[in-house]
């Protein structure tokens, strides 16, 4: 046995994460001594709001530094429940026993997959999607089954719900839904979300709903799965503090599910990470008192989205749908790739190298659909958005002339 003999779980990971492009961007910056404009970032560029920082500092000063319950601290679970109850009023409100706090939404997703996926089980994932869903399913010996979303320049992406009925087999354990959506920036039509909910219920498949961008809605209305009074029968709801409160490094997310499910997750948690970070949880207690700051951030991001959209529209080779949610634009670059005979990955790397602009190639969000798209984050200073997209446009014009 050698240290190079890795487990099946670890070798099942095949996808690339966004980190490769951040790495390339750092290298170019260093080697060429230039400032690379970074549209690759998946986090708000603002500091965590003051009230939250103060609450965590206070907790540290008061010595709140030991382990907590695997469920997270009771006050935070209660606060999350009451926040969601005021957002989605119901005759059977969410109780704290139905909430578990986790180290980031990623860990929440991991617990959810770990709880349900056996080797050979199928999990339906819409393509494109956040890369880690499929990777974790594969780690557990499960099989990601993709449904290709449909795209038009006029309407953006739709979930292609008709295909969902056909893709469900006796082996299907879960459907993963993400709304608002990374990487496309879609806020899906509430009727489409309702259809997915109906099918999951009817076919007795668990619906794992990742709503981490729920505050980042610029146009249209977002339908949460928690609005269905019968969510307890089939929903595992995931959310977190990372994006809404600009707390990515704090590592705090949460799950809402019926109490029996949450109890089982806490048993897994106790054996994997014990508990979420104690003083970070105290900070998060102040998060829901910072919703005015969140509102300001959303207004800022709406403006940035508009600027990025207008700038990208100037490029006749790029086709772009104005995103309505999250903080990503996902323009179609298939015409450029066809003419230059390039793969989107090479196109993105060349752009870092030659234009000094980082974007994430859509193929990072498996499987096929993303191969004609680029993801650009607009959680970036407005002047950088103007300059960065101008550089992209120049770069593309140069390529198309060659
Ligand atoms: C759709 C989606 N879900 C989950 C996460 C992970 O969030 P966290 O930082 O809370 O682990 C991200 C982060 O990029 C995301 O885009």
pLDDT tens digit sequence for 49-68: 999 999 999 999 999 999 99
Instruction: Name the residue among 153, 119, 152 with its Cα closest to residue 138.
Output: 119
Looking at the domain covering 8-47+292-401, what would its CATH class be?
Answer: alpha beta
Cα-to-centroid distance, 180 and ligand 1 (Å): 12
Ligand 1 pocket, residue 101 CB under 6 Å: no
Cα-to-centroid distance, 33 and ligand 1 (Å): 31
Cα-to-centroid distance, 234 and ligand 1 (Å): 22
Q: What pLDDT, on a 0 to 100 scale, did the predictor assign at position 401?
A: 86
Q: Alpha-carbon distance 218 to 51, whole Å?
A: 25
Q: Record the tokens describing residue 238, joined without a space.
A: 């995931």
Residue with the two structure tokens 């949610």 = 325
Domain with CATH 3.40.640.10 in the chain: 64-289
Burial profile 336-363: b = 16 or more Cβ within 10 angstroms, e = fewer: bbeebebebbebbbebbeebbbbbbbbb
CATH number assigned to the domain covering 64-289: 3.40.640.10
Rounded to the nearest 10 degrees, the angle between the axes of helix 104-116 and helix 132-139 is 40
C-beta contacts of 292-295 below 8 A and 24+ residues apart: 293/49, 293/50, 293/51, 294/49, 294/215, 294/244, 294/245
Q: Record the tokens describing residue 61, joined without a space.
A: 């000063």
Cα-to-centroid distance, 104 and ligand 1 (Å): 8
The H or E element spanning position 99 is strand 99-102
Ligand 1 pocket, residue 210 CB under 6 Å: yes
Backbone phi, then psi, for 12, in 5-degree steps?
A: -75, -10
Domain with CATH 3.90.1150.10 in the chain: 8-47+292-401
Atom of ligand 1 nearest to the CA of 130: 1
Q: Record the tokens describing residue 195, joined without a space.
A: 């259809």
Q: What is the mean pLDDT of the chain?
A: 96
pLDDT tens digit sequence for 63-119: 999 999 999 999 999 999 999 999 999 999 999 999 999 999 999 999 999 999 999
pLDDT tens digit sequence for 318-370: 999 999 999 999 999 999 999 999 999 999 999 999 999 999 999 999 889 99
Ligand 1 pocket, residue 130 CB under 6 Å: yes
Cα-to-centroid distance, 105 and ligand 1 (Å): 6
The confidence band for 43, taking pLDDT boundaries of 50, 70 and 90, is very high
Q: What pLDDT, on a 0 to 100 scale, did the predictor assign at position 13?
A: 85
């Amino acid at each position: 046995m050698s240290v190079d003999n890795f487990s099946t779980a670890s070798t099942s990971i095949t996808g690339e994460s966004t980190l490769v492009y951040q790495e390339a961007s750092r290298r170019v910056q260093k080697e060429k001594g230039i400032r690379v404009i970074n549209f690759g970032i998946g986090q708000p560029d603002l500091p965590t709001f003051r009230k939250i920082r103060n609450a965590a500092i206070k907790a540290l000063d008061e010595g709140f530094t030991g382990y907590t319950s695997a469920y997270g601290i009771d006050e935070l679970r209660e606060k999350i429940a009451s926040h969601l109850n005021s957002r989605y009023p119901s005759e059977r409100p969410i109780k704290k026993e139905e909430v578990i706090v986790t180290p980031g939404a990623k860990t929440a997703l991991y617990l959810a997959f770990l709880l349900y996926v056996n080797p050979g089980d199928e999990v339906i994932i819409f393509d494109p999607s956040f890369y880690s869903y499929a990777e974790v399913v594969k780690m557990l010996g499960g099989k990601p089954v993709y449904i290709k979303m449909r795209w038009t320049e006029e309407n953006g992406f739709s979930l292609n719900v008709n295909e969902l009925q056909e893709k469900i087999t006796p082996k299907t354990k879960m459907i993963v839904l993400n709304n608002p959506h990374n990487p496309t920036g879609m806020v899906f039509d509430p009727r489409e979300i309702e259809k997915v909910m109906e099918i999951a219920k009817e076919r007795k498949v668990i619906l794992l709903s990742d709503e981490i961008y729920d505050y980042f809605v610029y146009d249209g209305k977002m339908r949460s799965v928690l609005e269905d009074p019968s969510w307890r029968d089939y929903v595992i709801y995931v959310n977190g503090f990372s994006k809404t409160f600009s707390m990515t490094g704090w590592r705090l997310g949460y799950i809402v599910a019926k109490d029996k499910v949450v109890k089982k997750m806490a048993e897994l948690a106790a054996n994997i990470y014990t508990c979420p970070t104690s003083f970070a949880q105290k900070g998060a207690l102040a998060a829901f008192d910072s919703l005015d700051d969140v509102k300001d951030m959303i207004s800022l991001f709406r403006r940035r989205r508009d600027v990025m959209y207008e700038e990208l529209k100037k490029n006749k080779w790029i086709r772009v749908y104005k995103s309505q949610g999250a903080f990503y634009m996902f323009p179609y670059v298939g015409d450029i790739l066809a003419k230059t005979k390039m793969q989107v990955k090479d196109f993105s790397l060349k752009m870092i190298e030659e234009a000094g602009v980082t974007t994430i190639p859509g193929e990072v969000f498996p499987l096929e659909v993303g191969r004609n798209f680029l993801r650009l984050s607009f959680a970036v200073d407005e002047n950088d958005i103007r300059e960065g997209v101008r550089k992209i446009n120049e770069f593309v014009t140069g390529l198309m002339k060659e």
